Amino acid sequence: MLDYSKYIINRDFTVRGALIKLNALSNDVLTLFVLDEGRLVGTLTDGDARRGLINGVQLTDSVDKIMKKDFSYLKDDENPFLRQVDFRNRSIQLLPSINEKGEIVKIYNLKKLKAILPIDAVLMAGGKGERLRPLTETTPKPLLKVGDKAIIDYNIESLLLNGVENISVTVNYLADQLEEHFANPKQGVKVKCVREPRFYGTMGAVKLVDGFKHDVVLIMNSDLFTNIDLSDFYRHFLEKDADMSVASVPYTVNIPFGIFELDGRNITSLKEKPTYNYYANSGIYLIKKDLLNLIPTDQCFNATDMIELLISKKKNVIRYPLLGYWVDIGRHEDFNRVQDYVKHLHFQ
């Protein structure tokens, strides 16, 4: 859980006390939230303080004289993603979410966040990475360095940038190293490691994860190098009323020969050096939380199994076209390629 105490003051604070608190924020958003017995009653910015002093308010006066009592906020039961654009257009940088009692349950820093996605995330990091041996003989593939940081950290940072705070990582092979890697919070967020007792496949380990807080869960392989737009991915999921969305990447097959179309033994036509365009599974999924109950217990169960199961149940399984870059780091060629990519590409 992130620590919001630096933004909080009580109603009995003096103006001097509030200025000291604002000064301590330094290059952060210069906004404070004023509480009265735990309930949010006002906001205070450095501009409010300056205007108050100009108008004769004393440093020893209560912040009640200068705080704004008409302020913007989110209710904790509404989807922040749907309202974030409105708040950004009004130049609001620090946005509180409050419960029915008026208590702050979360504070969003819109200056630092690309989006506010009300989703949970599970990164699958249990594989052995056998095709990358000998690199993975002593290091789990998600912890191999690309540039100056581990592969998995690019994906963790992307999630944090999009406001995702409930993150789990399923681990198996060399699990101790991953657990040690995530022993300390990342940007104030605790990443939870969940051990597989044995290999459960690319979806089966999700059954071991508990404590989901949202209705939609992002599940992805941890060894991907991608700048997928998670905000657009989620928006597309909502707009299409999907049960499951599979991010997909274009895959083109060029046939260097003339290809016959046949009816039995008879040639009906000829296609000269045709090109076929397909979409391949990227290993990134959005799925409604309730559908995770369909994952069998204590069995190997892959994402492809889940897709086929949902299709058989007439669920709305859709494709999301991933338009950015994407590399599945499965081979030495892929690993070497992303070492060059990272020098030129900027993750956002």
Range of the domain at 66: 5-109
Domain boundary among 109, 144, 163: 109
Cβ atoms within 10 A of the Cβ of 319, count?
Answer: 14
* 283 lies in the same domain as 139: yes
- How many domains does the structure of the chain reveal? 2
Q: What is the mean pLDDT of residues 115-126?
A: 93
- 226 token code pair: 């991608």
Residue 225 lies in a domain: yes
* 238 lies in the same domain as 139: yes
* 104 lies in the same domain as 209: no
pLDDT 10s digits, 221-265: 999 989 899 999 999 999 999 999 999 988 888 888 888 888 888
Comparing 9-13, 189-193, 281-285, 324-328, the range with the smallest average pLDDT is 324-328
Residue 79 lies in a domain: yes
Q: What's the CATH code of the domain at 187?
A: 3.90.550.10
Residue 171 lies in a domain: yes
pLDDT band, very low/low/confident/very high, at 2 (cuts 50, 70, 90): low
* 154 lies in the same domain as 24: no
Inform me whether the pLDDT recorded for 336 exceeds 50. yes
* 68 lies in the same domain as 209: no
What is the pLDDT, as a whole number, of residue 346? 56
pTM of the predicted structure, to 2 decimals: 0.86
Residue 278 lies in a domain: yes
Residue 243 lies in a domain: yes
Q: What is the mean pLDDT of residues 29-33?
A: 91
What is the pLDDT, as a whole number, of residue 9? 93
Comparing 10-19, 266-275, 285-294, 295-304, the range with the smallest average pLDDT is 266-275
Domain boundary among 47, 81, 109: 109
Domain boundary among 90, 109, 128: 109
The pairing of beta strand 244-254 with beta strand 275-288:
antiparallel
* 37 lies in the same domain as 186: no
* 166 lies in the same domain as 303: yes
* 161 lies in the same domain as 20: no
Q: Position 39: which residue type? A: R
What is the pLDDT, as a whole number, of residue 348? 46
* 74 lies in the same domain as 124: no
Q: What's the CATH code of the domain at 20?
A: 3.10.580.10
Q: What is the mean pLDDT of residues 32-54?
A: 92
Compute the distance between CA of residue 170 and CA of residue 83 in angstroms, rounded to an integer.
32
Q: What is the mean pLDDT of residues 284-297?
A: 95
On whether the CB atoms of residues 146 and 339 are closer than 8 A, the answer is: yes
Examine residue 134 and say whether the peptide bond preceding it is cis (omega within 30 degrees of 0).
yes
pLDDT 10s digits, 122-133: 999 988 777 878
Best mean pLDDT range from 22-31, 79-88, 228-237: 228-237
The pairing of beta strand 31-36 with beta strand 39-45:
antiparallel
On whether the CB atoms of residues 28 and 14 are closer than 8 A, the answer is: no
Residue 114 lies in a domain: no
Residue 348 lies in a domain: no
Percent with pLDDT over 70 in the chain: 98
**Residue 4 or residue 203, greater confidence:** 203
* 134 lies in the same domain as 105: no
What is the pLDDT, as a whole number, of residue 27? 79
* 36 lies in the same domain as 125: no
pLDDT 10s digits, 151-164: 999 999 999 999 99
Inform me whether the pLDDT recorded for 53 exceeds 60. yes
* 63 lies in the same domain as 169: no
* Mean pLDDT, the chain, whole residue set: 90
Alpha-carbon torsion (80, 81, 86, 91), positive or negative: positive
Work out the end-to-end distance of the chain between its first and last CA atoms, rounded to an integer number of angstroms.
Answer: 23
For the chain, state the CA radius of gyration: 25
Compute the distance between CA of residue 152 and CA of residue 145 in angstroms, rounded to an integer.
9
Q: What is the mean pLDDT of residues 49-73?
A: 91
Residue 131 lies in a domain: yes
